[in-house]
Chain A
């Protein structure tokens, strides 16, 4: 997917000026937060499970090469294939090759963030293969020609009227006289339309929430059942997964699954959790004849052993997005690339470069709510700060910020100069009898929508010195 992360400030202005988007974000704010809190309250072991899940992933990452080799061995034993891919282009090439091998014209897709990351849909289309998204949210945004704006609720920014317009335009030959009024009608129409695609597809592509080293299984969780129809009906099932999805055993995966849905949607468990190992077995009456796992690195191996390793624990539940006040203000599209919210602000610079994505780690108040709710206890604010350190060290931080910090540090490390300067500023600005400024040089961003409080007059230290006589 093409990135517009560099244009974050413009994306933000656009998002803030979109009343429909703002209404949708308002709806999102309470919804997931309350549900997660409820699910957490119902399971007394929730936080202890988080600790264990973190430990499981930390252990797996420490032995990642070995667990991946074991995973590969087991996939092969079950009759499947593993394709190691260094980058997006390699992964796209492998998928296209497999689709051609299967003689594919239509490919159904379950939800896969890796698919977005490697820009699979436009690539397949350009090569004469029709990809059809089957997760309802993904399908809606595919019709709209947009990327997902949320990991688990891709079309959260759209309302039912917009979706109705899309369905009218794209279904039943674009008969504009049709109207779809309610959400049930929309869901039913999508079900009927996509059912035909499921049955005609030659290849089904899904993502993977987890990979099991012990068994070679790939695991997906869905609520709609689209992932299951995607992988059961076509001749070939292709799984797109990144390296860090592997865990040692079914028991380890189970611990993570116990906190995944609760953190994501507040469900006790997702409707469908599906563990897949290899193609159709002798005597099976259905299922794919071929099973392929595309295992993508795309920059992740470079995070191992770095200050960003912890982001490899991420299980893509979306809790950090749901609780992030920045995400809640501007929505997912403003981030300009596949991964959004706090986890995206940490991961995107690693995958598309800090030059392209430098705004994302800067656009945080470090409020810490993301880390608070992260089921995998990922220290997201700390890693955002690490990106800022890299940016500063590389000399690419904005000149005004560097200059300002330099001046600040010069004074702050010289208490006598600091007292003089702050004393002067306090006295001058303190002359404002109104107690505030409606405009102030260098503070245009602040005063556009806020007054700027003026100082009381003399600094604390000046008053303290004269009171206590030093």
Chain B
């Protein structure tokens, strides 16, 4: 062990008058990972939950759309891109959930994989949505390259309606239920990229996407 480590920990232990039995208390607290106060807003049931999610996401400049079934997704994406005057071309996450959608019903030209910044549009699924602030949660992994969340000017996200949580804590519970270690990156995304660094004037698309479009899909997952 390095000398700085030993010295710093020694200082902390002296200042805190550490005793041997304390470690068990710390381990127990972590193992319990009890939720603290969850605001009432995060505990609304369906269908208000969807309404709240859409309202909160809309407030920060995201756009949302509810779809009745998975079959509607490709056409909705195509329609959205056309409406934004964007070419019908996108990089898509190699996610089985997305791969199972009937993309061939549209003229969309899809490339699967990460992006290096030359794709105008990125399409991903979300691990969860959180109604209390209109937040999306995505996990990095082989089926979800992080670059798709950030490098394209337009980010289209497919959020299965069943994955919409009220509060963040529900998502952490689901994450732990996956069993394995936490993924390399958990991204919480609330609206498109913005900055207020020049005269406190809000501008969209500082470094990340200028547009965030969320499709809330029934009967998926």
Contacts and interface: CB of A to CB of B under 8 A. Distances in A.
Given A134-B207, A160-B198, A277 B183 contact: yes
A269 B188 contact: yes
A395 B158 CA distance: 66
Interface in B79-108: 94
Contacts of A198: 117, 207
Interface in A39-57: 43-45, 48-49, 52, 56
B68 interface: no
Interface string B2-22: 101101110111011010001
Interface in B139-188: 140-142, 145-147, 149-151, 168-169, 172, 175, 181-188
Contacts of A78: 181-182, 184
Interface string A148-167: 00000111101110010000
A356 interface: no
A27 B196 contact: no
A97 to B, nearest CB: 13
The residue in A66, A243, A275, A302 that gathers the most chain B C-beta atoms within 10 A of its C-beta is A66
Contact of B193 (A70, A190, A223, A304): A223
Given A183-B199, A277-B181, A277-B182, A65 B207 contact: no
B12 to A, nearest CB: 4
Contact of A49 (B30, B37, B185, B196): B37
Contacts of B147: 232-233, 285-286
Bin the interface of chain B by size: 35 or more
Contact of B197 (A136, A195, A258): A136
Given A251-B172, A269-B190, A214 B12 contact: no
B9 A160 contact: no
A463 interface: no
B146 A286 contact: yes
B168 to A, nearest CB: 5
A381 interface: no
Interface stretch (A84-92, A338-346, A424-432): A84-92
B200 A301 contact: no
A232 B151 CA distance: 10
B140 A70 contact: no
A64 B16 contact: yes
A286 B187 CA distance: 14
A69 interface: yes
A216 B199 CA distance: 37
A274 interface: yes
A184 B199 CA distance: 12
A285 B142 contact: yes
Contacts of A199: 116-117
B205 A191 contact: yes
Interface in B11-61: 11-13, 15-16, 18, 22-23, 25-27, 29-30, 33-37, 39-41, 56, 59-60
Bin the interface of chain A by size: 35 or more
Contacts of B208: 224-225, 228-229, 271-272
Given A86-B4, A187-B206, A66 B184 contact: no
Interface in A262-282: 265, 267-281
A285 B145 contact: yes
B159 to A, nearest CB: 16
A117 interface: no
B140 A287 contact: yes
Interface in A353-396: none
A287 B146 contact: yes
Nearest to A233: B147
A255 B190 CA distance: 17
The residue in B60, B117, B132, B146 that gathers the most chain A C-beta atoms within 10 A of its C-beta is B146
Nearest to A250: B172
A28 B201 CA distance: 11
A225 B206 contact: yes
Contact of B194 (A190, A252, A271): A271
Contacts of A254: 36, 168-169, 172
B33 A270 contact: no
Contacts of B41: 43
A228 B198 contact: no
B146 A136 contact: no
A137 B33 contact: no
B128 to A, nearest CB: 13
B206 A284 contact: no
The residue in A27, A90, A199, A214 that gathers the most chain B C-beta atoms within 10 A of its C-beta is A214
Contact of B200 (A28, A49, A188): A28
A268 B114 contact: no
Given A44-B39, A229-B208, A285-B94, 8 more contacts: A45-B40, A136-B198, A213-B30, A228-B149, A232-B147, A271-B193, A275-B185, A287-B184
13 contacts: A65-B18, A86-B4, A224-B194, A250-B175, A254-B168, A255-B36, A268-B133, A269-B190, A271-B190, A274-B186, A284-B145, A301-B11, A301-B12
